[in-house]
Structure 1
């Protein structure tokens, strides 16, 4: 009987160890898989818009954030053909390469989440789609080393406990066998009750844990022997696994930086609320907020400063939300600089209440986020564009509501930023036209659709041709000539202006280098090139200008860079330093559209511009508006007192030219003097 009892005990222990090993491994692996799928789905949702607009900067920010998550070995973003678009690295060395690993074909063909384990590596992928269009996908590789270590530690502790129990049990059996043979059956029965029953209860608890039920009770033992230690060790192991499960859920459903809900948690909450509101006749408002020019903070101050800005923004949003009384709200960060707020009326008038609360909250957000932020001793001005969509008026599903909120936000950006807009159905057509124009604008220079024309600039006192302003023109193969005010704005918003501006600068310098000296000028003509705010904020302008001058052989003093007042003042400290280095290079700096921006003497003195161009709006009414004439005269006198050259643009009548000459304006340009011309026509004009 003792031999049978001993064998039974050993068999039970082996069974428990096997059950615990299988359940622990299955649970930890399932947690890793579930957490991985949640993270990949969240990342895929976050990448949908950047991938649709092919925004590699935004894709890189999201990919690098995912790489910092625990146990992540690699992150790959790929297109619909399986070619790698981003791997989280700075130079994207693998860009454009096809995925050639054993899982690649299955991953590209998969229409949903795809999970495969290869040794100690768990590969989880998820397709990225917008509507029915599949854009590509994202895959994350997780190291299973942490799971293996956790499983090993749990089993080692369990085996140690069993070993101690076995040793003590054997000693007791030997003593009982030697001293109390008559009571061996009674001892065996007591041993059965003392050991097998608690171990069976532990086995039942292990099965409950395997099923994900962490609330199942573990036998509570006050025993001070090894079995008591084993039971308490098992209870601590269950608490550790439950805590690990909570941590995985927290990582999967919250934003790591701000602590707000993430895209996945917001999407689930939104869908649940929409199901609750179906047929109830109530409304929900979704506010989609995006920071204006946030990329400039990361580019100029670094990503740590960008993270600090996002923390301050999150705190301001929460304060603004708390200021809206009687509303049930949910705030989430979708990644990057995108924040979403869901507003549900908590009062008895849900319809009118939701729209009114959305207006008040949108106004509060715009006001709060436009206030300066103190960052490393510097004030940073950003602002935010807010889009608002109402359920069910604007959309009947969570996906469509979020899409329309995003569209409304982009309309706010196109309206001048730092404002809010409600979604309207006409916005869809506008966004579609804008997306098509952005797509057509990519590669337009290489296809020969973009070109430069030159508008002559004359010296006022003797009407001698001294230079020209380089202007971009786009001849679309289907739409014909596209107005610069239209496609320049699209290029600015999409970031294409940085590449187009560089190409324009290089070509303008190359053509100007061959211009002859015009009669009566005494020196070769200059060329003025417009520089956008994005180019100024990129930090690469000085190198680009120096490279263009070196490649073309153009003398630096013959290149004039035109910048708007707004572009300079938006980040005055960096702009002043950069413009100072450009002037040291020999290049002249002009302030364009002077009079429409801040027009401050202090700004003009700090920037130390070589020239300023009076905006055409003043020149147009020069002959019939005494106020414009007085302002123009004052600007000329003020600039001359500071040694700054004055250029008047938009001169279209002889009377305007005569007035400007009487008031000693230095240079003029306009249709009365000459229309924009091709490079060949302008060269002929010089000769």
Structure 2
């Protein structure tokens, strides 16, 4: 029989001590593991917040660069100005982190990449990101491990003509992330080693020391790390104002807290910079569309609770495109900068301290303000804004004159929502444009009806030619010397089955503004050539047909091809086709217009300037634009018998044109006296109701056959 082993008191104490130590080891091992996990969580949250903010910052910057480049490259791409496109691409390439810039056409072929010789010119984009960039409808970003590719489409009049792509390197963002996280990693490593040392010391100090150390660890390590983790969560959520981590400790934890505080301030500052870039117009320094919309929403919420009133003024510059076309886009930017200062000062003077102003688009500004008598006050402010814009500007040593059209809508009388108010202000501004520009209009319900009628008319106009609702009439043109019928001008008429006869002054304007004029003009040209090909006249001189060409058709650049196709399909001789263009049609880009007209004249087609004398330049264009004839505007012919000035001007036009070998045609001959005076002054040809009214193709054909 074996006796039980007796440990004794020392053994029991030792066993108890071992048990306590085992418990303490287990407890503090668990505590050490919990602290390590907290440190890892803080590091992960910090890294995630840094990475997300860096990603958002790089994406925002890429979107800004891509959008700005797309806006700046619209006209150069449209006119294939490779020099300007190269300049814009190289400027973008010089921006930090930009790796590549690609400007492409609507089919995805490279137009410019910022290089000197453009080795990829005309080649389709074949990289993995090209497909999404080409098919994106707006600004679009794509990520890879090392790159951010941001693309923006380029549109004119709703039609996509190409796009731009900007590639930004993620290398700097990744490097900055590593640099910021390195101190945190070091501090966390030191913290882990310190925990282990304390654990060994606690084991040596037995239970009391272990308990004290546990309290110390909880108070001086775990709690600060937990606070940092909570702060990291608030940073990740964007609640920077709630982050307040400070420490006077001179140990590693204190260093960690201070490093975290500095990182938090840097992230918050970076976020403020990003928001400032996102909410500010870079050219004028005013608020942009996004910032204004948020301010409007906040103001409406306040006013709905307090039953207040406000006015929204939509300011659009008149004829601003003429500045860009004649002086260049840098001059246009200078105009916008100067006018933004004038508008801001006028708003501060009359709109009060609570007024908001923003640049809403290319040449559009929008103003929000409140007043007691809101309607009268907004009218005064609109007049002041128009006066400020109309004051001359000095650019490149010359004076530039512009105007402004202002649309005004009032809350809560016209609408209660931000979107509807903006729409109403835009409608009212459009009505100010229709009223002659340089004025302001208040929104009214009738304007909605007018816009709706215009939209319906545009819908009806689509396909009207294919439905057989449109036809051509021909107004005879006579030689004044012997009153011989020489040709006819093609006039488009629309007989709608429900609306009846729609005046040309109505549907032509709708076609111009909607872009339908290109299709309609092509139909008119083809039909006129087909009709004229069947006209016969006694003698050697074949009758001609004149067709009006719109400015949009001229700007499209394919007019010579369209004309050649129409003549080939009809068999009409080139000398029998006269194309009529207004002076303003060639003013936008005189170099391109002259080149196109020279190509047309080289084929034998005749070029006439219509409504001559009413444009900006008058006789000066006869020296620079290749034309065969001018048509004196009917406004001069109407008063040629009563107004000596009109008679003198008409005589001067005839004499000047003849000295340059140019044929002169008078429009609007309504009386025998006008006919006699014009023939006496040597005018070559004329048209008007006194000579002959517009008639169908068969009737004009019979008139040519009967001509003797």
After TM superposition, the score normalised by the length of structure 2 is 0.70
C-alpha spacing 1:349/1:648, structure 2 compared with 1 (3 Å): closer
Look up the match of 1:444. Answer: 464
Larger Rg: 2
| Offset at residue 646 of structure 1 (A) | 0.9
Task: After TM superposition, list the pairs within 5 Å mapping 1:446-461 onto structure 2.
Answer: 446-461=466-481
1:505 maps to what in 2? 525
2:369 match: 343
The answer for the alignment partner of 2:689 in structure 1 is 671
Q: 1:530 aligns with which of 529, 536, 548?
A: 548
Residues 340/609 of structure 1: CA separation in 2 closer, same or farther (3 Å cut)? same
Query: Does 1:91 find its partner at 2:106?
Result: yes
Correspondence 1:200 to 2:200: no
Q: Which residue does 2:495 correspond to in 1? A: 475
Q: Is the alpha carbon distance of 1:321 and 1:227 closer, same or farther for their aligned partners in structure 2, counting shifts above 3 Å?
A: closer
Deviation for aligned residue 1:383: 5.1
Q: Note the alpha carbon deviations across 1:492-518, whole angstroms, 9 max, x for none.
A: 222322332233233323433x23441
Q: Are the aligned partners of 2:318 and 2:438 in contact in 1 as well (CA < 8 Å)?
A: yes
TM-align CA RMSD: 4.8
Q: Does structure 2 retain, via aligned residues, the 8 Å contact 1:343–1:358?
A: no
CA 1:390 to 1:213, structure 2 compared with 1: closer, same or farther past 3 Å? closer
Bigger Cα displacement from structure 2, 334-343 vs 573-582? 573-582
Distance in 1 between residues matched to 2:194 and 2:697, nearest whole Å: 99
Cα pair distance change 1:411/1:353, threshold 3 Å: closer
Whether contact under 8 Å (2:378, 2:408) holds in the other structure is no
SS of the equivalent of 1:607 reads coil
CA contact (8 A) 2:637 2:667 kept: yes
Q: Secondary structure at the match of 1:448?
A: coil
Q: Give the direction of change, closer, same or farther, for the CA distance of 1:268–1:6 in structure 2 (3 Å limit).
A: same
* TM superposition shift of 1:433: 1.6
Q: 1:213 to 1:566 in 2, by over 3 A?
A: closer
- How far is 1:454 from its partner? 1.8
Choose which of 676, 682, 686 in structure 1 pairs with 2:700: 682
CA contact (8 A) 1:296 1:537 kept: no
- Which is worse superposed, 467-476 or 615-624? 615-624
The alignment partner of 1:467 has SS state of: strand
Equivalence for 2:585: 567
Q: How far is 1:342 from its partner?
A: 1.9
The question of whether the paired residues in 2 share the 8 Å contact of 1:283 and 1:344 is answered with yes
Compute the displacement of 1:542 (Å): 4.1
2:669–2:675 Cα contact (<8 Å) kept: yes
Relative to structure 1, is the Cα distance of residues 265 and 598 closer, same or farther in structure 2, using a 3 angstrom cutoff? closer
Mapping of residues 142-161 of structure 1, within 5 Å: 158-161=184-187
In the alignment, which residue of structure 2 is the partner of 1:429? 449
Match of 2:33 among 6, 10, 30: 10
- 1:564 Cα deviation from its structure 2 partner: 1.9
Give the equivalent residue in structure 1 for 2:66. none
Residue 386 of structure 2 is aligned to residue 362 of structure 1: yes
The question of 1:519 aligning with 2:534 is answered no
Q: How does 1:477-496 map to 2 (within 5 A)?
A: 477-496=497-516
Match of residue 233 from structure 1:
259
Q: Which deviations, in whole Å up to 9, do the C-alpha atoms of 1:79-132 show, x marking residues without a partner? A: xxxxxxxxx985389xxxxxxxxxxxxxxxxxxxxxxxxx99xxxxxxxxxxxx
Can you list the C-alpha shifts for 1:637-658, whole angstroms capped at 9, x where unaligned?
Answer: 3322332211012223334323
Q: Which residue of 1 aligns with 2:377?
A: 353
The TM-score with structure 1 as length reference comes to 0.72
Of the structure 1 ranges 662-671 and 273-282, higher mean CA displacement relative to structure 2 is found in: 273-282
Q: Is the 8 A contact 2:431 2:447 kept in 1?
A: yes
Q: Which runs of 5+ in 1 are unaligned?
A: 41-56, 58-67, 72-87, 94-118, 121-142
Output the CA distance in 1 between the equivalents of 2:497 and 2:58. Answer: 49
Distance change >3 Å, CA 479–CA 191, structure 1 → 2: closer
Cα separation, 2, equivalents of 1:386 and 1:204: 51
Question: 1:527 and 1:380 mapped to 2: Cα distance?
Answer: 40
Which residue pairs with 1:388 in the alignment? 408
Q: Distance in 1 between matches of 2:406 and 2:699?
A: 47
Distance 1:294 1:598 in 2: 15
- Secondary structure at 1:591's aligned position in 2? strand
